[in-house]
Amino acid sequence: MPQIETNTIARVVVDIALDREFEYRIPDSLNDSVHAGSQVVVPFGRSKRDGFVVALSGHAQHADLKEIESVVGEKPLVGESLLELSRWIGRYYCAPIEQAVRCVLPAAVRARDVSFREQLFVTLDPAAQSDAFVDALRKRAPKQATVIEILKSHGGMFLQELCRQAGTTAAVVQALRTKGAVQAGTRTVRRRPEMDREILPTAPLDLMGAQKEALDMIRTSMDTGTPPAVLLHGVTGSGKTEVYLQAIEYALSQDGGAIVLVPEIALTPQTVERFAARFGDRIAVLHSHLSEGERHDEWHRIHDREACIAIGARSAVFAPIHNLKLIVVDEEHDSSYKQEEAPRYNARDVAVMRGAREPCAVVLGSATPALESYRNAKSDKYGLAILPARVDNQKMPHMEVVDMRVEAQRNDGKPCAFSKRLIDAIHDRLAKAEQTMLFLNRRGYASSFMCPQCGYVAGCGNCSVSMTCHTQDDTLKCHMCGDVRKLPERCPECGDSAYRMAGIGTQRVETIVGKLFPKARVQRMDSDSTTAKNSHQKILGKFRTGHIDILVGTQMIAKGLHFPNVTLIGVIYADMGLHMPDFRAGERTFQLLTQVAGRAGRGEIPGLVIVQTYTPFHPAIQAARRLDFPGFYDQEIEFRKELSYPPFTRLVCVTLRSRSAERASFLAEALAKAIEPLLPKAAIMAGPAPAPIEKARGYYRFQIILRSSAVKKMVDAVRTAVGNTKWPSDVTYAIDVDATSLL
Ligand code: ADP
Ligand code: ZN
């Protein structure tokens, strides 16, 4: 690289929390080996530190620079464009640079103690190939002969596998080695995440008209850079995945690579298999359930160009794919793309930004696009491709809304969990041996423990939320901080034993279903019932093979699953998220109902979705009933515009936390005063005010919420004010740009 000669200075981020880049001189001896992206060891204070070169330059801004001590590894770990992306993340999301750099360089790769696994690899000496040799051996040492025969048919093998196949020990192989019949040397083995079954390869399908148009648009984007991103809007089962697969194939045909992002919860072996069935070993999988070793090896398979397609959750957007041509973000509206700790990036937005810089095409797919994305598509910033119907003209499920207020009247004014309509429909499905899914987005038995005598409600001591009752192990649990208490036998305040468990969770639904349908095989799936390793897969396997009639679950069952025999879905309480103090509550409810509906009727029989609600005329519920995304969008976008909410503005949420409410409140006031004069014109500042959940995990939380269309200036204002504040050790802050959760 010729530029090295003039670039004698390296800008280095040191692997400890200091929001700075440091300059180091590159000694002549290292001239050829230090690049942007290199991992290095540098003197720092009195010690030595691991660092990471983020840029090279010809001029130093400081005098008397220290020299880089050594370089780790031969090749730089990441390229220039990923480094640029991490710097953008630092700036845009207001995060320290070394945190942003950590995104592009995962811990498993940075850590020195995770490394390649070396094992003995055994090969056959040519002299031992002859039949005569094997024949002679078989009489005296039959085990050795077996080893030789296996090697003859395989060419070479890792020692461990060889011993396993030959049913023998390493000593036998060693004896052969001493004779000179085999050789052994170390080789790197890749730790690969396991697939549970053999994958049968698939071939590309003939695309339908709408799929073809979508693929054409994506190809054009890949070839010309226009449109910079394509929003692929299509209901579940409309053939989006087939479009992704063929778009990837096109990228590969151009000697390029691709990244596929899916929400963590949908990253099941089922999803991965569809990609592996088309592309085999060219796939690398990256997600949080891998061991450190597996993650390290998958990353290096990409880095060393053994794999050219990365599929994974949020963090896979940083995969170092060579000649990246395409990024697919499936379920682009999903909130799991937002990282809830610094740097608080949204992988969908990072994908679009990476696409512009790389450059490469970006496909955002969803049945219920985020309002932000749909608006970008409507205003021609993105291309819009629509898959209007399910493949094979399968009918969309029929959605029925049941007014639970009317049900309660029938029930002497008492609210009930199951409407007559839903009960009848389940009976009908049981009689026909079809399957039912019941959905409720709250786990546990009851949402609170209360005493009707004195009004006592069991609350968490650390958080301002009520404790959820879990009758399985007779406990009260805080779903915020995880605190657990024994379920009291009587009211701890007044001693009355006539306490009530109010509200409903999946566990209670399971109990009621058991009573209503004693013959049915019922299974619950939520994070309480899937703590054991693979229990998730086991339950789904049982359901798929027809060993479960009714599956009760939280949002864990709402996404990405395909079960053709499910013809009924019951949404127990659709209002659950609707009354959250969050401007996206309606959007989330619409998305969830549409998602859930997508699980029904994927086989021959059209599905029925029964939505139970106390607010049947809410626009989100009505639009979901009509499966009408554009209608929902038109209505919701008006509301956002009127109140200057995203996508008409960007939103920054600054949260201050302290064990003392007064301290948090006091500093929040001071910070708000400091921010206000720096804000761009027409910016809106709300607060400081206590967060909707004021106390969480023992900390009081105060929020300042800022909205403006001039996001850079707004973020600068916050950064400056935060930088000018003297932070005492008992108050911490978090800056969340484009916040998705305001609780
Ligand atoms: P989505 O990703 O939108 O949920 P999929 O790509 O999974 O949709 O498609 C749904 C089903 O239709 C899958 O079983 C898929 O194999 C099938 N399919 C998709 N496209 C076609 C096509 N062009 N011809 C025939 N079958 C298709
Ligand atoms: Zn708590």
pLDDT tier at 71 (50, 70, 90 boundaries)?
A: confident
**Residue-averaged pLDDT of the chain:** 86
Q: For ligand 1, pick from 242, 273, 559, 599 the residue to mutate: most ligand atoms within 8 Å of CB.
A: 242
pLDDT tier at 374 (50, 70, 90 boundaries)?
A: very high
Query: How many angstroms is it from 161 CA to the middle of ligand 1?
Result: 39
pLDDT tens for each residue of 351-364: 999 999 999 999 99
Among 190-204, 244-258, 560-574, 697-711, which is the least confidently predicted range? 190-204
Strand pairing class (9-14; 22-25): antiparallel
Residues with Cβ within 8 Å of residue 69, at least 6 apart in sequence: 40, 41, 42, 43, 48
Query: How many angstroms is it from 604 CA to the middle of ligand 1?
Result: 14
pLDDT the model gives residue 721: 94
Identify which ligand lies nearest to the alpha carbon of 278. Answer: 1
Ligand 1 atom nearest 243 alpha carbon: 6
Supply angle C-alpha 205, 269, 596, rounded to 5.
80
Q: Return the domain boundaries, the chain.
A: 4-110, 117-189, 209-391, 398-443+505-639, 445-504, 650-737
Using a 10 angstrom Cβ sphere, with 0-12 exposed, 13-18 middle and 19 or more buried, the burial of residue 597 is buried
Query: How many angstroms is it from 586 CA to the middle of ligand 1?
Result: 29
Q: Which residue has the higher pLDDT, 446 or 372?
A: 372
| DSSP character at residue 533 | T
134 vs 152: CA distance, rounded Å = 10
Task: Evaluate whether 156 touches 121 at the Cβ level (below 8 Å).
Answer: yes
Kind and range of the H or E run holding 213: helix 209-224
Structure tokens at 526: 């939520």
The correct CATH number of 398-443+505-639 out of 3.30.360.10, 3.40.50.300, 3.40.50.2300, 3.20.20.70 is 3.40.50.300
Identify which ligand lies nearest to the alpha carbon of 461. Answer: 2
Task: Evaluate whether 363 touches 230 at the Cβ level (below 8 Å).
Answer: yes
Mean pLDDT score, 461-475: 85
Q: What is the CB neighbour count within 10 angstroms for residue 594?
A: 25
Of 372, 382, 380, nearest to 640 (Cα)? 372
369 vs 355: CA distance, rounded Å = 19
Identify which ligand lies nearest to the alpha carbon of 331. Answer: 1
Query: How many angstroms is it from 211 CA to the middle of ligand 1?
Result: 10
pLDDT tier at 431 (50, 70, 90 boundaries)?
A: very high
Query: How many angstroms is it from 612 CA to the middle of ligand 2?
Result: 29
pLDDT the model gives residue 1: 44
Structure tokens at 215: 């693929």
The topology under which CATH files domain 650-737 is Alpha-Beta Plaits (3.30.70)
Of 459, 456, 465, nearest to 491 (Cα)? 456
Q: Which residue has the higher pLDDT, 350 or 505?
A: 350
pLDDT tier at 118 (50, 70, 90 boundaries)?
A: low
- DSSP labels for 260-322? EE--GGG--HHHHHHHHHHHGGGEEEE-TTS-HHHHHHHHHHHHTTS--EEEESGGGGG---T
Ligand 1 atom nearest 238 alpha carbon: 3
The residues whose Cβ lies within 5 A of ligand 2, an ion, are 460, 462-463, 478, 480-481, 483
Query: How many angstroms is it from 434 CA to the middle of ligand 1?
Result: 23
Q: For ligand 1, pick from 232, 391, 393 the residue to mutate: most ligand atoms within 8 Å of CB.
A: 391
Residues with Cβ within 8 Å of residue 309, at least 6 apart in sequence: 248, 252, 257, 258, 259, 260, 275, 279, 282, 283, 284, 321
Query: How many angstroms separate the Cα of 146 from the Cα of each of 125, 138, 161, 175, 182?
Result: 15, 8, 13, 13, 13
Ligand 1 atom nearest 391 alpha carbon: 12
Mean pLDDT score, 723-730: 91
pLDDT tens for each residue of 5-40: 467 888 888 876 566 788 899 988 888 888 888 888
Cross-sheet strand order for the sheet of 484-486:
468-470, 475-477, 484-486
pLDDT the model gives residue 353: 96
Q: Is the pLDDT of residue 194 over 70?
A: no
Kind and range of the H or E run holding 536: helix 535-544
Ligand 1 atom nearest 330 alpha carbon: 2
Identify which ligand lies nearest to the alpha carbon of 483. Answer: 2
Helices 629-642, 585-597: axis angle to 10 degrees equals 170
Query: How many angstroms is it from 205 CA to the middle of ligand 1?
Result: 9
Q: Do domains 209-391 and 398-443+505-639 have the same CATH topology?
A: yes
Which amino acid residue places its CA nearest to atom 11 of ligand 1? 237
Query: How many angstroms separate the Cα of 246 from the Cα of each of 169, 257, 270, 621?
Result: 47, 13, 18, 35
354 vs 82: CA distance, rounded Å = 8
pLDDT tens for each residue of 606-649: 789 999 998 899 999 999 999 899 999 999 999 999 989 999 99
Q: Which residues line the pocket of ligand 1, CB cutoff 6 A?
A: 205-208, 211, 234, 236-242, 391
pLDDT tier at 2 (50, 70, 90 boundaries)?
A: very low
Task: Evaluate whether 737 touches 715 at the Cβ level (below 8 Å).
Answer: yes
Mean pLDDT score, 124-140: 80
CA count, 13 A, side-chain hemisphere, 689: 10
Identify which ligand lies nearest to the alpha carbon of 467. Answer: 2
Identify which ligand lies nearest to the alpha carbon of 484. Answer: 2
Using a 10 angstrom Cβ sphere, with 0-12 exposed, 13-18 middle and 19 or more buried, the burial of residue 67 is middle
E strand spans, 126-270 = 156-158, 182-189, 229-234, 257-261
Which amino acid residue places its CA nearest to atom 19 of ligand 1? 239
pLDDT the model gives residue 4: 40
The correct CATH number of 4-110 out of 3.30.70.2390, 3.40.1440.60, 3.40.1010.10, 1.10.10.10 is 3.40.1440.60
Which amino acid residue places its CA nearest to atom 5 of ligand 1? 239
pLDDT tens for each residue of 216-239: 999 999 999 999 999 999 988 889
pLDDT the model gives residue 732: 93
Query: How many angstroms is it from 467 CA to the middle of ligand 2?
Result: 8
Mean pLDDT score, 178-192: 75
Task: Evaluate whether 101 touches 13 at the Cβ level (below 8 Å).
Answer: yes
Ligand 1 atom nearest 208 alpha carbon: 23
pLDDT tens for each residue of 559-603: 656 778 888 999 999 888 887 778 898 999 999 898 888 777 656
Query: How many angstroms is it from 489 CA to the middle of ligand 2?
Result: 21
Burial string for 417-443 (b: 16+ CB within 10 Å, else e) reads bbbeebeebbeebbeeebbbbbbbbbb
What is the architecture of the domain spanning 209-391? Answer: 3-Layer(aba) Sandwich (3.40)
Query: How many angstroms is it from 553 CA to the middle of ligand 1?
Result: 26
The topology under which CATH files domain 117-189 is Arc Repressor Mutant, subunit A (1.10.10)
pLDDT the model gives residue 192: 66
Ligand 1 atom nearest 367 alpha carbon: 3
Query: How many angstroms is it from 462 CA to the middle of ligand 2?
Result: 5
Of 628, 606, 608, nearest to 619 (Cα)? 628
pLDDT tens for each residue of 296-331: 888 888 988 999 999 999 999 999 999 999 999 999
Q: What is the CB neighbour count within 10 angstroms for residue 155?
A: 8
